Structure 1
Amino acid sequence: MAVEARSEPRLISVRGAREHNLNDVSIDLPRDKLVVLTGLSGSGKSSLAFDTIYAEGQRRYVESLSAYARQFLEMMQKPDVDLIEGLSPAISIEQKTTSRNPRSTVGTVTEIYDYMRLLWARVGIPYSPATGLPIKSQTVSQMVDILLGMEDGARLYLLAPVVRGRKGEYRKELAEYHRKGFSRVRIDGEIYDLDATPALDKKRKHDIEVVVDRLVIRGDADELATRLADSLETALALTDGLAFADNADDNARTVFSANFACPVSGFTIDEIEPRLFSFNNPFGACPTCDGLGVSSHFDEQLVVPDTRTTLRGGALAPWASSSSRYYIQTLESLARQFNFSLDMPFGDLDGDIQSIILQGSGTMPVTMEFDDGMRSYKTKRPFEGIMPNLARRYRETDSSWVREELEKFRANHPCESCGGKRLKAEALAVKVADHDISDIAQLSIGDARDWFVGLSEKLQGQESEIASRILKEINERLGFLVNVGLGYLSMARNSGTLSGGESQRIRLASQIGSGLTGVLYVLDEPSIGLHQRDNDRLLATLVRLRDLGNTVLVVEHDEDSIRLADYVVDMGPGAGVHGGHIVAAGTPQQIVDSTASLTGQYLSGIQSIAVPKTRRKAKKGRRVRVEGASGNNLHDVSVDFPLGVLTCVTGVSGGGKSTLVLETLWKGLARRLHKAREMAAPHKAIMGAELLDKVVDIDQSPIGRTPRSNPATYTGAFTPIREWFSGLPEAKTRGYAPGRFSFNVKGGRCEACQGDGLIKIEMHFLPDVYVTCDTCKGRRYNRETLEITFRGKSIADVLDMTVEEGVTFFKAVPAIREKLETMYRVGLGYVRIGQQATTLSGGEAQRVKLSKELSRRATGRTIYILDEPTTGLHFHDIAKLLDVLQELVESGNTVIVIEHNMDVIKTADWIIDLGPEGGDGGGLIVAEGTPEEVAGVAESHTGAYLARMLNSKGT
């Protein structure tokens, strides 16, 4: 009887989802399609996509594994949902930085570098650094001649390195060497008889060398030569061509390789294996910097951050904040002896004087006069110098606090030994087509792809045959990265410096490379950080992922992504407590036709973000000018940032926007205006700082790293709330101060959970469980504190309100209402006043910071810098954000926005467009001017899309 084929479910059915703010949501999503979830920020998109559908798919898969395997995997909590059917194993690709490990690079994360190591090991040719000629293997006769040429009487061990830096017990191997007639072995530097070797820890790496011979260089050379040749041949046979000769007197080691050695300089390469090219392995890493490519030193520019400051005014940063008289008395003693003034700017002092202050007086004694308030005394000794003093204190201290303080004056510089290439000289001596592996790793991904494509044609015969499969893997992976808009990154780039969007697209490229089918992929705004031009390629990648036979579920606000989707779910109608419903679901056209869908109204043009009728112009001479910026890929860029206007810095991904605005302008101004210690990227000058009071970078980093931080504490709203409660009659009667209403200190908080409201219970093989505190029932405060109420609400009730509810509740209390109103105005009305900072998205954290700035007294002399503030924002939220930014500018301030969103760009007063391409093909100013002027520049990619938008939506 024929077995009926079981049909695959065609839908993912969700019934009764109530996670976070979801209101008993039920929906059917088509499988093997590109599905976009959209809606206002806080409407419940991520709650449905990540916290419900992905969480359940991942949980079911992990639960199918053994208890042993589960302990190594993160288990998701079971979401609050009645039923989900039709799920596949789920993979989440979120906007998280891949790794903060300084050893992790784009090349290692994508595994491209692993294939490159294999390629260089198999077809690479070693070259002598001394002669520049290819290295040939040594013959046994050459090895014998080298040993015979050693000092008469030299006592040698001839060793065969059979195990090098590998884990294991090696009992069988050691027994086999004993059976073959060898009597001694050196294990991890200690010599043992082979019949009495210690038990080895299988979890530790070991070095094992068989002692082939012990001899002294003296007597009959012919007889000794014969013995040496026999012993060397035996050693080389045991190790595939490698032998060591160790001098027993001074431990000097001579390496012999039947494979590679330079006859002129004696330069040898032990082995050419993939691990030789790994900077994470001691066999390949540069011994000076341990494979990091940088070394840390005390930096004179951090010690003297502003050379226009005088010594008396605190030019020496490590000494400037000290209350001790010791340091100023030291400087006064130096000034007396060397005849200089402490009131002269440090930069105007004679070069020799600067050198003495920084590097010391050498052997020249200096008469020091001190008065500690109790007694006066003199000493005569050489002055150590501030730089050697810092280095000595850093070296000698056992205090982590002192070390942390001194770290502020240290900077990373390229390693002097490897030049920042991370590898030892032996690895860099091996070349493929005249390039070492680091040369290619430092190319942009786009350029590297072109190089590898060209390499296929250069390799001949056996080399071509060996390399063909490796090159296929490399070229495929590089192609995927270019297709997701990352062609401007270099493979040597530290993965910790990538943005969340870049990290997400790297993982997306890796998933396409894996070729999996039947998987549910859940993505969080993959278009973040992408120029409109690169977005088209990203969308093609998502379609390819779908066409492989996968379901692609994307949380997205990008108009092109919504229009391309097979199915769209619009959530809302509002945010937070006003959201959590399905407003509309269907094809993109059905969403456009839906009158209830806010997204549909923007897609159809019923609602839109208007182009301003007039553009502001900066007053003559009111500008900040950056001269000669040359950090990263910037090519000696000089540009004016007009003051008192909204400026958008645009350009394709990798064009140099962040380097110009964040690394150069912001850090340069922060050093001038706020004495910040961070070094700006290389530039010649920044002019116009005297027109400013401060510069503020409103980024998307968390507002706090602990659950105790929340929007109320960050914006300062919590202080007037606590003061208000402490001023209530009952609180005054009981003598409660504002501190009583803090959950961070003892007194008013619940001590059972120490004010957290939750208690963590560790569960082996299962995720940690956070249970509501039995004592306070999750309210954070003790019973006595909660008895103090205002209009029937306790402090815990207030913290549980949304910002919108709080504005109404405290309408008669201006000090509190005004703080909450600024949060409401930036679109955070749905956020709870006491919501844990760790649960806020990057975009939400950025808007909390924006609201804090809005609540400050405007000076009209501030530059606000925002990097992609539209991240996570719906069209309607962007309209609100633009109102806030325009309000800041109307107060006389300057707003500089790095942005790809055309709705923001078209409303700017001024545009600075960088490019024309990413990476090495960028770093130039392509266009400057009003949106209308930039739209007319043929070379500008931004201009092309802007012209289309201004023509079609010029209202």
Structure 2
Amino acid sequence: MLREIVVRGARTNNLQAIDATIPHGRLTVVTGVSGSGKSSLAFDTLYAEGQRLYVESMSAYARQFLERMPRPPVDSIRGVLPSIALEQRNPVTNPRSTVGTATEINDFLRLLFANIGRTMCPECGVEAEKHSPQTAVRFIESLPEGTRFLVLAPIAVESERRLGFLLEHLASAGFRRILVEGEVAEMGERKPRFSDFRGGRCLDVVVDRLAKSAERMSRAADSAEMAFRIGSRGAVVLTLDADGRPAERHHFFAGLVCRSCGREFREPQPEMFSFNSGIGACPTCEGFGKEGTLDLGKIIPDPSKTLAGYAVALWATPVLKMMTEWMLECAAEDGIPTDVPYRDLTAEQKRWVLEGKPNGGDEDFCGIQGFFRWLEGKRYKIQNRILLARYRRYMPCKTCGGARLKPDAQWVKVGGRSFPELLALPVPELHRFLDALELTPADAEAARGLLHEVRGRLQYLEDVGLSYLTLSRETRTLSGGEAQRIGLASALGSALTNTLYVLDEPTVGLHAADTQRLIAILRALTAKGNTVVCVEHEPEVILGADRVLDLGPGAGEHGGRLVFDGTPRELLDRGGGRTAEYLRQRRATEWPHRGRKPARFITLRGAEQHNLKKLDVKIPLGVLACVTGVSGAGKSTLVNATLYAHWRAAKGETGIEPGRCRSLRGLEQLNDMVLVDQRPIGRSARSSAVTYTKAYDDIRRAFAATRRARTLGITAAHFSFNVPGGRCESCEGMGTQTVDMHFLADVTVTCDVCGGRRFQKRVLEVTDRGRTMLDVLDMTIAEAMEFYADTPRLVAKLRPLAEVGLGYLRLGQSTATLSGGELQRLKLAAYIGRKWAAGSGQSEAANPPSAIRHPQPRAPHILFILNEPTVGLHMADVQVMMSVLQRLVDGGDSVLIVEHNLDVIAQADWVIDLGPGGGDAGGELVAEGPPEAIAVCERSVTGRFLRTRLREQGRQ
């Protein structure tokens, strides 16, 4: 078997027939400037070939699709292992998926609760007990020698008919005696009545009469076994006094029963603790933990309006105005005022609006709730489903309290805590709880393996910088970086060996304090015999690798070459690319620092959403500010869930629930607040950078204006792959088709009608200066700017993309293939382009030297909010991105960045550092001020690392 993966002649995307070797069982970092071909080599070549070979080893059903699956364009690849990709995006949309289910910790905790959990009676607070025949025998052995006793089998009696059948059956089985009113009676002599067994009383069948002695213990054991077998509620040992009368009754229950009140419980089993199983899921919310209720804040957003003035905004649309008219007619009949503000109506009148006329008929007003009940019955129409979703909000389920499980699962405790309570604990706190468990020897033996697995996975979550999460956190709410590190922790928890792991920037979202722990995690994977290939820009990870592949030297057609292949030491000594240059010179590089002083602030007081601890903070305006802190310190909660959410609510957006705070002042200083996040742009795979910035409209018009297009009667619409006309109808302009593999993930294959060319043949006959539309869509943005240099209007739309470092993207590349960082920069470029166009007052044909040059008069003041804008950027490209943001501030706007990159933080004018830790240990303002002030704060984790960086730049 080869000891390395050998790649020869890789030509995927912009790769220039490169040769590379990746050693097995080692950590290899693929680095290079943005667009140099890193993902093409790591994901589109290595991972794709590993997946192809894996599927090839499967059944004939899977293999029948193989010849339609594209093989990476490469001369040869040898030594490829089964591959797993951990990408920088979160593919999970299922609300049932949580951190606990994704890491399989829930599975082990379910087994733990089923094996050693104690069911506690919710009424009495005492532990429910379960007995066996051996329990009864041990009790008999403890009786004094010679003690007389009866072994009874209590049998439930449900009906008169059942009683008769039961007595007949017992007699045929050889049982002759029953216990009636404390006395043993022959069944033939005294026939019991059904009325004797009301109130849950049982028929006590005498199985045996014995006196305690060593010789009769074997018989006593057989009798106890028989009693448990025929009794519906276990067995009873009834001791007798000297006169043969009943003395003490000792009940040994077959199921779990509270000894105090007699309440029966289900025996714990793993499925009881799964909210994805019908056995364990709460029947009200079906295991989601939330239930939908009408959101009156959305339905009646302005209570100062009258009913006649469309206080019920839902019924103000042209389609539903008839509901308002019907309501007004009925209101006149029922004496409900329609010219009084809704907030001034009495409680009874508001109830009429909400619930309709009490005991009303079909012709009477049904109320808002009645209208939504009618919509529920018409859910098969998509517009009704959309309407239902728009005016609903989800609250914790009233039955389970958001725990997702049935009540009896929540009554089972381990160490005094229920299953949902453990899932709600932050990872370190749960780890400490399990370490401190005091178990009996038997329970400790049963739980040893389970606790080992759970503790190991919890430690992996801490090691990858996710200690602030809880196991109940929904996976769909995680960022792409967090989701990737969840996958990394799961991989470590698995027993996989000889596997190729391909990772996409695992340091995204990680504080500098967690980087070394991440490197240790990657080393742990290789220690198991796995091969790790990591696309990364972080210097510490590059220097901590076993091997470095540096691609470049530039982006797009100027990249795709292997600039360096060797160890990190060799990279520093003799590497010739931009990566080596940066690593050698970064200690001597002084990044530009403007040092602007803020004169205006947005003041936020008493913020206490999530883990924020009544935070008082000032957000500076007119400067470039950074919000920093370790993972889970509360940065996104402060910026997104509080500041930005309050802005949206202030603008009148409905459905917004801003983070709790005492006051927020200063928003009136802004004309707009723009959140440039990393969320996907729509859902269409047809969306691309050129369509998103509206540049494609100009390209289509240019093609439609050619002589050949006019001759063929082809218009700009024919060059659209979104509508019929010129596109290939077999693939609907996608160029690919999706094959349903049923038991496997869907496979995307090239369209066999157009061959991936997306358009009909006659459309591709049209050329513009010798290039077809397909050729143009295959150009990079940088190439297109040169090709259309004589079309200033088009270049003006493309220029912002190049300025934010996306010049290497292909015009036709789907936004669905972009990373979170690329999506964020694409959105920023679109905002910049629109801002210039809106503020210039010039013709769009103008071709400014920079698309972010602010013309006079200046455009309105905007606060741009960005979350890690340097994600996916090479170290050498970070400064290009920062110059874009700095020029935004120079033009009179404000920029607020949530960032971990120390080079970015060092260039900020103002830093807000949260912490000091993550989760419950965070949420406080540790320090604020210029970078130098943060660096000298001993309490700041960020400050400790920033101090070193500023010292390297000569600023400390």
Shorter-chain TM-score range: 0.7 to 0.9
Residue in structure 2 matching 1:390, options 372, 385, 388: 372
Residue in structure 2 matching 1:625, options 577, 589, 603: 603
**Aligned partner of 1:406: which letter?**
L
Q: Is the 8 A contact 1:37 1:571 kept in 2?
A: yes
Cα distance between partner residues in 2 of 1:652 and 1:724 = 50
The answer to whether structure 1 residue 546 and structure 2 residue 526 are counterparts is yes
CA RMSD in angstroms, aligned pairs only? 3.8
- After TM superposition, give the deviation of residue 138 of structure 1 in Å: 8.0
What is the SS of the residue equivalent to 2:28? Answer: strand
Residue 339 and residue 355 in structure 1: after superposition, are their counterparts in 2 closer, same or farther (change >3 A)? closer
What is the SS of the residue equivalent to 1:855? Answer: helix
- After TM superposition, give the deviation of residue 74 of structure 1 in Å: 14
- After TM superposition, give the deviation of residue 718 of structure 1 in Å: 1.2
Residue in structure 2 matching 1:743, options 712, 721, 727: 721
What is the SS of the residue equivalent to 1:906? Answer: helix
> Could you tell me which residue of structure 2 aligns to residue 447 of structure 1?
429
Residue 886 and residue 314 in structure 1: after superposition, are their counterparts in 2 closer, same or farther (change >3 A)? farther
The answer to whether structure 1 residue 114 and structure 2 residue 107 are counterparts is yes
- After TM superposition, give the deviation of residue 486 of structure 1 in Å: 1.4
> Could you tell me which residue of structure 1 aligns to residue 404 of structure 2?
422
**Aligned partner of 2:104: which letter?**
E
Q: How does 1:625-704 map to 2 (within 5 A)?
A: 625-673=603-651, 675-704=653-682
Q: Is the 8 A contact 2:12 2:73 kept in 1?
A: yes
**Aligned partner of 1:948: which letter?**
T
Q: Is the 8 A contact 1:360 1:382 kept in 2?
A: no
- After TM superposition, give the deviation of residue 529 of structure 1 in Å: 1.0
Q: Is the 8 A contact 1:94 1:523 kept in 2?
A: yes
- After TM superposition, give the deviation of residue 762 of structure 1 in Å: 6.8
Q: How does 1:247-646 map to 2 (within 5 A)?
A: 258-263=254-259, 265-305=261-301, 316-322=312-318, 325-326=321-322, 329=325, 341=339, 349=344, 352=347, 355-356=350-351, 359-360=354-355, 362-363=357-358, 383-395=365-377, 397-455=379-437, 458-594=438-574, 596-605=576-585, 610-620=590-600, 623-646=601-624
Cα distance between partner residues in 1 of 2:151 and 2:66 = 55
> Could you tell me which residue of structure 1 aligns to residue 948 of structure 2?
948
What is the SS of the residue equivalent to 1:545? Answer: helix
Q: Is the 8 A contact 1:305 1:671 kept in 2?
A: no
> Could you tell me which residue of structure 1 aligns to residue 847 of structure 2?
none
Cα distance between partner residues in 2 of 1:237 and 1:71 = 56
**Aligned partner of 1:927: which letter?**
A
Residue 930 and residue 912 in structure 1: after superposition, are their counterparts in 2 closer, same or farther (change >3 A)? same
Once the two structures are superposed, residues 199-224 of structure 1 have per-residue CA deviations (whole angstroms, 9 ceiling, x without a partner) of xxxxxxxxxxxxxxxx9972777998
The answer to whether structure 1 residue 933 and structure 2 residue 911 are counterparts is no
Q: Is the 8 A contact 1:673 1:694 kept in 2?
A: no
> Could you tell me which residue of structure 1 aligns to residue 23 of structure 2?
30
TM-score scaled to structure 2, two decimals?
Answer: 0.82
Residue 765 and residue 219 in structure 1: after superposition, are their counterparts in 2 closer, same or farther (change >3 A)? closer
Once the two structures are superposed, residues 567-598 of structure 1 have per-residue CA deviations (whole angstroms, 9 ceiling, x without a partner) of 11110111122111011122223222346310
Aligned length: 860
Q: Is the 8 A contact 2:120 2:411 kept in 1?
A: yes
- After TM superposition, give the deviation of residue 773 of structure 1 in Å: 5.0
| Structure 1 range deviating more: 96-105 or 520-529 | 96-105
Q: Is the 8 A contact 2:10 2:17 kept in 1?
A: yes
- After TM superposition, give the deviation of residue 803 of structure 1 in Å: 0.9
What is the SS of the residue equivalent to 2:127? Answer: coil
Residue in structure 1 matching 2:123, options 125, 130, 137: 130
Q: Is the 8 A contact 1:55 1:76 kept in 2?
A: no
> Could you tell me which residue of structure 2 aligns to residue 861 of structure 1?
861
Residue in structure 2 matching 1:17, options 10, 20, 27: 10
Residue 939 and residue 228 in structure 1: after superposition, are their counterparts in 2 closer, same or farther (change >3 A)? farther
- After TM superposition, give the deviation of residue 532 of structure 1 in Å: 0.8
Cα distance between partner residues in 1 of 2:882 and 2:303 = 40
**Aligned partner of 2:194: which letter?**
R
**Aligned partner of 2:641: which letter?**
E
Once the two structures are superposed, residues 682-717 of structure 1 have per-residue CA deviations (whole angstroms, 9 ceiling, x without a partner) of 344443333333332222223343332211111111
- After TM superposition, give the deviation of residue 314 of structure 1 in Å: 6.0
Residue in structure 2 matching 1:94, options 87, 93, 99: 87
Q: Is the 8 A contact 2:153 2:234 kept in 1?
A: no
> Could you tell me which residue of structure 2 aligns to residue 874 of structure 1?
874
> Could you tell me which residue of structure 2 aligns to residue 5 of structure 1?
none
Q: Is the 8 A contact 2:805 2:881 kept in 1?
A: yes
| Structure 1 range deviating more: 727-736 or 831-840 | 727-736
Cα distance between partner residues in 2 of 1:728 and 1:552 = 51
> Could you tell me which residue of structure 1 aligns to residue 50 of structure 2?
57
**Aligned partner of 1:510: which letter?**
S
Residue 581 and residue 266 in structure 1: after superposition, are their counterparts in 2 closer, same or farther (change >3 A)? same
Cα distance between partner residues in 2 of 1:453 and 1:158 = 55
> Could you tell me which residue of structure 1 aligns to residue 749 of structure 2?
770
Residue 91 and residue 425 in structure 1: after superposition, are their counterparts in 2 closer, same or farther (change >3 A)? same
What is the SS of the residue equivalent to 1:289? Answer: coil
Once the two structures are superposed, residues 80-99 of structure 1 have per-residue CA deviations (whole angstroms, 9 ceiling, x without a partner) of 21222333333333234363
- After TM superposition, give the deviation of residue 308 of structure 1 in Å: 7.0
Q: Is the 8 A contact 2:721 2:727 kept in 1?
A: yes
Cα distance between partner residues in 2 of 1:239 and 1:68 = 54
Once the two structures are superposed, residues 895-921 of structure 1 have per-residue CA deviations (whole angstroms, 9 ceiling, x without a partner) of 222111111111122222221111111
Percent identity over the alignment?
Answer: 42
What is the SS of the residue equivalent to 1:527? Answer: coil
**Aligned partner of 2:111: which letter?**
L
> Could you tell me which residue of structure 2 aligns to residue 756 of structure 1?
734
Residue 415 and residue 545 in structure 1: after superposition, are their counterparts in 2 closer, same or farther (change >3 A)? same
Cα distance between partner residues in 2 of 1:765 and 1:478 = 31
**Aligned partner of 2:909: which letter?**
D
**Aligned partner of 2:450: which letter?**
I
Q: Any stretches of 5+ residues in structure 1 without a counterpart?
A: 1-7, 160-179, 182-214, 244-255, 366-378
Residue 393 and residue 235 in structure 1: after superposition, are their counterparts in 2 closer, same or farther (change >3 A)? farther
- After TM superposition, give the deviation of residue 819 of structure 1 in Å: 0.5
Q: Any stretches of 5+ residues in structure 2 without a counterpart?
A: 134-149, 167-171, 174-190, 209-222, 236-251, 840-858
Once the two structures are superposed, residues 461-495 of structure 1 have per-residue CA deviations (whole angstroms, 9 ceiling, x without a partner) of 32222222222222122112211111111011112
| Structure 1 range deviating more: 763-772 or 501-510 | 763-772
Once the two structures are superposed, residues 768-808 of structure 1 have per-residue CA deviations (whole angstroms, 9 ceiling, x without a partner) of 4623555x554433344344433233333322221111111
Q: Is the 8 A contact 1:705 1:837 kept in 2?
A: no
Once the two structures are superposed, residues 29-69 of structure 1 have per-residue CA deviations (whole angstroms, 9 ceiling, x without a partner) of 33322211101122111111122223223433443344368
Residue 92 and residue 725 in structure 1: after superposition, are their counterparts in 2 closer, same or farther (change >3 A)? closer
Q: Is the 8 A contact 1:13 1:84 kept in 2?
A: yes
Residue 315 and residue 594 in structure 1: after superposition, are their counterparts in 2 closer, same or farther (change >3 A)? farther
- After TM superposition, give the deviation of residue 648 of structure 1 in Å: 1.4
Cα distance between partner residues in 1 of 2:789 and 2:165 = 88
